[in-house]
């Protein structure tokens, strides 16, 4: 197992290198560069000389291979460089936003788990009853309603009926739990609901499948309490695919809540991503792609380990 873990960790390096090379090239292929965009975007009369000077300042006058080597060399030393747009270190810009994004991802996952596991299990146990239908309607609605739309509706309701809006600036949970939750609970609910819809349907079908297994019949034949049959034997096994889905969704939430972050004006990684792309902030986009790729790979790795822990039949070599 240890060998497997080390192997998986080492495999991350070439994967991330491939991602780095790909994103570096793709960004250079996109039309428009940061300096031209900055001046043209504000309609400023900037002579060619000023534009060239600014490009040189950002290192964009160097050959592409040199830019790539400099960047990769920096990453090897854990120096992600500076944002071409703000001039501040990338690690600083990302760190400011990462706390919010991680917290929101955790909260949304909690919301999703708290909704999906009980509802999905209940729906499976009460298959084809009104309860099952109600849960299915609830989960299909969750799939159909985009979380940003739900967010917009929430904001409109708050403003029209309560003349209130969640705080627009982030306060860390450590500083003020109340202010923190006031801001993040709403997007967490909006995102968590959609997220729970996927997980509810997955839980329902997994539990249904497991309940038909021989070992469940055996457990029941042994005279075990239904509660024990369900929690210890059925649910534990049924949760394997649910955990895989939850893991993938969690990784997505860290950097993918672009529109929801915009709707609630959250200063998170998703918003930073979009701004960096529209500003052609090459170094920032490259670093964010690397970060989100790392999160995806690492969460997948963790999911595999958790699956092995939950199911003794799974053994990695």
Partner 1 sequence: MRPTLRSARPLVITALLLTFVLPASLTFGAQAEKPRNGGELVFAVGGTPPSFDGHRETTFAMLHPLAPHYSTLLRFDPQAYPKIVGDVAEDKWTVSRDGLTYTFKIRKGIKFHDSSDLTSKDVKATYDKIIFPPEGVASARQASYGVVKSIEAPDPYTVVFQLKQISASFIANLASPWNFIYKADILAKDPRWYEKNVMGSGPFVFGEHVPGSYWTGRRNPNYFMKDRPYLDTFKAIFIRDTAPRVAAVRSGQALIEFRGFNPAAQEDIVKTLGKEAVVQESPWICNLTVTINSEKKPFNDPRVRRALTLAIDRWNASKALSKISLMKYVGGVFRPGSQFATPESELVKLAGFGKNIEASRKEARALLKAAGVPDGFSFTLKNRNVKEPYEVTGIYTIDQWRQIGLNVNHVMQEEGPYFNDLRQGNYDAAIDFACDFMDEPDLQLQKYLSAKKSPLNYGRYNDEVLDDLYDRQSRLTDKAERLKILRQFEKRVLDEQAYQFHILWWQRIVPHWSKVQGWKVTPSHYVNQDLRDVYLKLN
Please report whether residue 46 would count as binding partner 1 according to CB under 8 A. Answer: yes
Q: Which stretch, 37-45, 112-120, 237-245, 300-308, contacts partner 1 (CB under 8 A)?
A: 37-45
Q: Nearer to partner 1 by C-beta: 84 or 197?
A: 84
C-alpha 128/C-alpha 283 separation (Å) is: 54
Q: List the one residue from 91, 267, 300, 307 that touches partner 1 (CB under 8 A).
A: 267
Whole-Å CA distances, 47 to 32, 41, 252, 278: 17, 15, 42, 23
Q: Which residues contact residue 310 at a Cβ distance below 8 angstroms, ignoring those fewer than 6 apart?
A: 236, 237, 239, 240, 243
Q: Nearer to partner 1 by C-beta: 178 or 313?
A: 178
Q: Which stretch, 51-59, 199-207, 243-251, 309-317, contacts partner 1 (CB under 8 A)?
A: 51-59
Q: List the one residue from 67, 71, 90, 93 that touches partner 1 (CB under 8 A).
A: 93
Q: Which two tokens stand for residue 268?
A: 């998170």
Please report whether residue 271 would count as binding partner 1 according to CB under 8 A. Answer: yes
| Chain centroid offset of residue 27 CA | 22
Please report whether residue 175 would count as binding partner 1 according to CB under 8 A. Answer: no
Q: Nearer to partner 1 by C-beta: 72 or 258?
A: 258
Q: How many CB atoms lie within 10 A of CB 67?
A: 18
Please report whether residue 152 would count as binding partner 1 according to CB under 8 A. Answer: yes
In the complex, the smallest distance separating the C-beta of residue 121 from partner 1, rounded to whole angstroms, is 38
Please report whether residue 178 would count as binding partner 1 according to CB under 8 A. Answer: no
Binding mask 211-250 toward partner 1 (x if CB under 8 A, else -) reads: ----------------------------------------
Q: Which stretch, 3-11, 88-96, 231-239, 309-317, contacts partner 1 (CB under 8 A)?
A: 88-96
- Tell me how long the chain is: 317
Q: List the one residue from 4, 12, 16, 37 that touches partner 1 (CB under 8 A).
A: 37
C-alpha 309/C-alpha 304 separation (Å) is: 9
Span 1-20, contacts to partner 1 by CB under 8 A: none
Name the packing angle between helices 147-162 and 177-211 (round to 10°). 140
Q: Which stretch, 130-138, 233-241, 278-286, 296-304, contacts partner 1 (CB under 8 A)?
A: 278-286
Q: Which stretch, 177-185, 192-200, 243-251, 258-266, contacts partner 1 (CB under 8 A)?
A: 258-266
Please report whether residue 146 would count as binding partner 1 according to CB under 8 A. Answer: no
Q: Report the sign of the C-alpha dihedral through residues 257, 261, 267, 271, in that order.
A: positive
* C-alpha count within 13 angstroms, C-beta hemisphere, residue 309: 7
Q: Which two tokens stand for residue 128?
A: 């084809």
C-alpha 116/C-alpha 196 separation (Å) is: 5
Q: Which two tokens stand for residue 227?
A: 């509660």
Whole-Å CA distances, 267 to 89, 108, 164: 17, 16, 20
Span 54-83, contacts to partner 1 by CB under 8 A: 54, 56-57
- Sequential DSSP letters for 296-312: HHHHHHHHHHHHHHH-T
C-alpha 184/C-alpha 100 separation (Å) is: 8
CB 282 within 8 A of CB 34: yes
Which residues here bind partner 1, judged by CB under 8 A? Answer: 30-32, 36-48, 50-51, 53-54, 56-57, 85-88, 92-93, 96-97, 152, 155, 158-160, 163-165, 167-170, 262-265, 267, 271-272, 275, 278-280
């Amino acid at each position: 197992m240890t060998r497997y873990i080390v192997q998986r960790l080492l495999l991350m390096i070439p994967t991330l290198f491939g991602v780095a090379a790909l994103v570096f090239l793709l960004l250079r292929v996109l039309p428009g560069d940061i300096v031209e965009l900055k001046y043209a975007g504000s309609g400023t009369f900037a002579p060619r000389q000023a534009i060239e000077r600014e490009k040189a300042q950002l290192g964009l006058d160097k050959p592409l291979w040199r830019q790539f080597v400099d960047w990769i060399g920096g990453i090897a030393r854990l120096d992600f460089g500076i944002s071409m747009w703000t001039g501040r270190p990338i690690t600083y810009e990302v760190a400011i936003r990462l706390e919010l994004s991680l917290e929101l991802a955790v909260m949304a996952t909690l919301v999703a788990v708290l909704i999906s596991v009980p509802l999905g299990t209940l729906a499976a146990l009460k298959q084809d009853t009104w309860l099952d239908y109600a849960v299915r309607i609830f989960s299909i609605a969750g799939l159909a309603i985009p979380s940003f739309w739900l967010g917009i509706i929430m904001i409109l309701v708050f403003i029209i009926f309560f003349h209130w809006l969640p705080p627009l600036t982030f306060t860390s949970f450590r500083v003020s739990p109340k202010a923190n939750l006031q801001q993040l609970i709403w997007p967490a609910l909006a995102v968590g609901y959609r997220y729970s819809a996927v997980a509810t349907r997955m839980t329902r079908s997994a539990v249904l499948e497991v309940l038909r297994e021989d070992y469940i019949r055996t457990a029941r034949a042994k005279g075990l309490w239904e509660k024990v049959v369900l929690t210890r034997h059925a649910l534990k096994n049924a949760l394997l695919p649910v955990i895989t889905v939850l893991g993938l969704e969690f990784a997505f939430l860290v950097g993918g809540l672009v529109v929801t972050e915009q709707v609630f004006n959250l200063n998170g990684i998703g918003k930073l991503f979009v701004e960096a792309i529209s500003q052609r902030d090459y170094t920032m986009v490259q670093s964010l792609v690397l970060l989100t790729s790392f999160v995806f790979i690492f969460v997948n790795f963790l999911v595999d380990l958790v699956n092995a822990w939950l199911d003794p039949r799974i053994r990695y070599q």
